[in-house]
Amino acid sequence: MGVRGDSELETGISPKPLVTQKQFTDIKANVAQSSAPTGPRFTRSQLETHAGGRISELFGPAFEAQDGYTLQVRMPQPPLLLADRVLGIEGEAGRLGTGRIWTETDVGADAWYLHHGRMPGGVMIEAGQADLMLVSWQGIDAHNRGERVYRLLGCELTYHGDLPRVGETLRFDIRLDGHAAQGDVRLMFFHYDCDNGGRAQLSVRKGQAGFFTAQELAESAGCLWSPESQAIVPDPRLDAPTVATVPASLSRQQLEAFAAGDTAAAFGEGFELARTHTRSPSIHAGRMLLLDRITALSADGGPWGRGYLRAELDVHPQQWFFDGHFKNDPCMPGTLMFEACLQAMAVYLAACGYTLKRDAWRFQPVPELAYQLQCRGQVIPSSKCLVTEVFVEERIEGPTPTLYADLLCTVDGLKAFHARRVALELVPDWPLESDPEAGRDDRGRAVAVVDGFAFDQRAVLACALGKPSTAFGPMYRRFDGPMRVARLPSPPYLFISRIAEVHGPIGMMKAGARVVAEYDLPEAVWYLDDNGSRTMPFAVLLEAALQPCGWLSSYVGSALTVDSELGFRNLDGEGEVLAELHGGEGILRTEVELTDVSASAGMIIESFAVRCWLGEREVYRLRTVFGFFPPEALANQAGLPKQAAQAELLAREGDALIDLDAAPPAFFASTRPRLPGPMLRMIDRIEGWWPEAGAAGLGQLRAVKDIDPGEWFFKAHFFQDPVQPGSLGLEAMLQALQAAALLRQLDAGIADPRFECIGLGQTHRWKYRGQVLPHNRRVHTTLELTAIEREAVGVLLRADASLWVDGMRIYEAQGLSLRIVPGEA
């Protein structure tokens, strides 16, 4: 490329400098960091003219002679034209020397490069591209005479803070520090600063570019770097992968799965937990996926024995980046080579299993570190293969997973790009952050405001999927990082629309605090469609009653009273449903009071009184207990005691096998009460029905559900803490009771029969002492009928039930009741 070795990086090919190296350094040290833009301004359409039209239309008649050159120094064409406007140019037109240009780039919601609402690290560097326009303004083409093209040689770059996000505007202050020449070959030296709304975003120093003929480019010796000669950290941190097997290679199909957020499909066995993710950490998809295959991947391989990855991208003339970069001079931007390297590093971290317990986190270059980038080759339409290699120097599992590595890109055997000790980290993120419009409709209803903080729909949604401080204000900022915090379920299992009232001081964990939550009953919603009749299922009503308890626990600051993570779980309850609910009936108001709090040994137990209302009609009243527990306590739960008769019912050889997934008419006929549809149904098969068994001789039933880590409820309950809702365990018991009623044909003689959501006016009790997690295999529901009572217009059933996970009894319900009544609700 006209520059023969890394030792010549600063000055190129022994040039006669127009600005000496000392002057270059002094300029960078002494020029003021900010001043108001001056000189000519240019719009986006004018920038597009510079990229593809007659440059004299922008710069004036003095540039007309240059319009005849086939090769000119130009801004990239769309889509790689990233500057949206030029705010000013400082320097004399047509005269090479020092200069300055100011540009802005808007990060729009429809920008083609966005990944989860943010600008990728390589693309952000490319946005500082207006050094091209500045040197064009200075008349470089009058010297190049259509024979030379621009190529970046290297720079030192430092990221500051998080990557830019939608709605932000980047301002670049680009300074051309000088030129150097030897014969017709010219080099330029530059640096720039990028700020974002007043904060530093990116700094580029020691920027160097040159203008070369095709022959000079073809004769480049490439980067002289080799891993064998590189001095590396002598005592590295090399944390082990968290999966048993790191995949040794990946196909394009697997990479596309990873880019689409399907980590389990990408990496295979051992990565099943990723199926619970709301939004798996991923890399760019589509044309911005700059890797076609991974041909080598190892946790302890490579020349340093610390880990290695090798990727390939097939190059062909139709690659999208050739179209706009540049006119009559198609080449892949070096910034996209760097982006390919960042993608390869992200693949490496994910392949080590580091994303599995970090739902919705995202990859970004570690800020405040200076990275040295060297470019000594090019990818052009005649190139065949771009090889990207990652040489691992250090690997850190947490709390913020980080990879330190040297990066090397080789084009058809030529070392074209090298970056020394680049660091990529996996940082916390939240799905709500990339959707700024979500949760903005409170339907004109008043919301609770405490110390100026509104607990509106957006704040409620943030309690499920957003930053904890967005849900509860500054006191929860300590959880805006790696540490997890108790959450509300997320849609479609979130049944709070807003907080209407709250009484009691925020952040003070003591009895007496109260909250009123509202839930707008939708006309059409999945649970009405899935239920056997169009009434709210008991599980949904129970969640609408319990979720405000969880919210109130967070409001009083329960999680703030200890320094470690705590999981939030329901323990038991007793309640009575007084009325059924239908779609579109209005607003369900849930009143909750925290009645008791006790804390011991890192655990917190809280009791609540709950009443639910639809207008003046009381719908549900209950008392319930929740607990906050450290992860190790949840992991070591022993379950509920099991009596010999209960264990025998679980182990008894089945006398029937009814596949409910096949929708047998006896359980799904339109003329009979029906079991729910597949989303709400929590039993897959009936393994046994013994119609005369049990103490009352009324029958016993056993049903089973196979656990799939990809179940919708693991994604919804909870974000970063997947566990099956206890309410769905109780729903499984009710569905088993429904199945027993249908097997006994208790609907016979009832006009247009249907099931109530649960026995109205009847007390029900439940107890939880375990949990259903994604790694579990099977859940059994066992049920014993205790009473069948014929009523004036229907029939009432009572039962006791247990729920078992992989043989452990974890839930029980006593006095569970159900009615078959006439008439469609």
Active site residues: 325
Token representation of residue 23: 């002057």
Please choose, from the candidates 367, 422, 356, 361, the residue with its C-alpha nearest in 3D space to the C-alpha of residue 389: 422
Could you give the C-alpha distances from 810 to 641, 738, 766, 802, 804, in angstroms and in order?
A: 9, 21, 11, 8, 6
Please tell me the distance from the alpha carbon of residue 683 to that of residue 729, in angstroms, as a whole number: 10
Query: Is residue 601 left, alpha or beta, with left meaning phi > 0 and alpha meaning psi from -120 to 50?
Result: left
What distance lies between CA 324 and its chain's CA centroid? 31
Angle at Cα 782 formed by Cα 741 and Cα 712, nearest 5°?
90
* Residue 65 neighbours by CB distance under 10 Å: 12
Q: How far apart are CA 483 and CA 514, in angstroms?
A: 27
Q: For residue 631, which of 771, 767, 779, 803 has the smallest C-alpha distance? A: 771
Please list, in sequence order, all residues whose beta carbon lies within 8 angstroms of the beta carbon of residue 554, skipping any fewer than 6 positions away.
463, 471, 472, 476, 485, 486
SS3 742: helix
Rounded CA gap, 736 and 701, in Å? Answer: 7
Distance of CA 477 to the CA centre of its chain: 19
Q: How does strand 362-365 pair with strand 308-314?
A: unpaired
Paired residues of 621 in beta bridges: 576, 611
| C-alpha span between 405 and 573 (Å, rounded) | 53
Which amino acid type is present at position 674?
R
- Which secondary structure element, helix H or strand E, spans residue 768, and what is its range? strand 763-768
Distance CA 550, CA 230 (A): 54
User: What does the alpha-carbon distance between residue 678 and residue 264 come to, in Å, rounded to a whole number?
Assistant: 23
Tokens, residue 161 = 């803070």
- The per-residue b/e assignment along 178-213, b for 16 or more CB within 10 angstroms, e otherwise, is bbbbeeebbbbbbbbbbbbeeebbbbbebbbbbbbb
Angle formed by the axes of helices 334-351 and 252-259, nearest 10°: 90
Residue type (1 letter), 664: P
Structure tokens at 345: 């590093």
C-beta of residue 702 within 8 angstroms of C-beta of residue 687: yes
Place of tokens 């299992």: 493
**Distance, CA of 543 to CA of 692 (rounded, Å):** 34
Q: How far apart are CA 627 and CA 567, in angstroms?
A: 8
Beta bridge partners of 713: none
Residue 583 CA: distances (Å) to CA of 277, 618, 731? 30, 17, 19
Amino acid at 604: I
The separation between CA 584 and the C-alpha centre of its own chain, rounded to angstroms, equals: 33
Residue 635 region by backbone torsions, left for phi larger than 0, else alpha for psi between -120 and 50, else beta: alpha
Residue type, 284: H
Q: How far is CA 763 from the centre of its chain?
A: 42
Q: Which amino acid is at 408?
A: L
